[in-house]
Structure 1
Amino acid sequence: MSDLCAIVDYITEAEHHIRQAEILLKDLEEAQSSEARRLRACLYIAALKRLKRMIETHHTADERDETPQPAAILSEAPRFRWWPAPRMAIETGFFRRRAG
């Protein structure tokens, strides 16, 4: 997305999709559609608006400066928990092999 003209096109396309989604939501409300369908349409509109905001943020970042920003520094190392075994089961030997 480094080409600024392409980013402007993406923003225009996002605005178009948001308008279309709002028209569809209005049609759903007029047709007295179920609340679940209207809620799903609202969630899609919110997601489209977030994507448009992300594109705009990227657009303004490209205009400001093209130097990369430093990565965020975490306060502590993340704890990777790929095994959901409880600590008590490990300490009591629940997972030991049985001789047999």
Structure 2
Amino acid sequence: MHALPAKPDLGQLRKHAKDLARENAVALSEAQFRLARDFGFPSWPRLVAYVRRVVDHGPDLHARDDLWHSTPEGWAEACGQPEAQALLRRLGRSGWRRFRR
């Protein structure tokens, strides 16, 4: 598994996926899936969403992202928005797992 750079570039990832598709004679969607899995994401759309969040909110999102995968309380604290904190308290742990998908 590889780590994304601190400032990932969606254009470069798309180009890399196209190159993989050509090199391995597979469909682009398969190459995108493999690339996402190589970076530790369950799918290409999840990888794209993550990169867009990093681009929109800066590289410090990497540090806060660990909280996203840990607990609803940790994520609510990291986002710093009272509405999100209240929502996550109402969701509870089982709702948190569904919310993260």
TM range (shorter): 0.3 to 0.5
Which entry has the higher C-alpha Rg, 1 or 2?
1
TM-score, normalised with respect to structure 2: 0.34
- TM-score w.r.t. structure 1 length? 0.34
Q: Which has a greater percent of helix?
A: 2
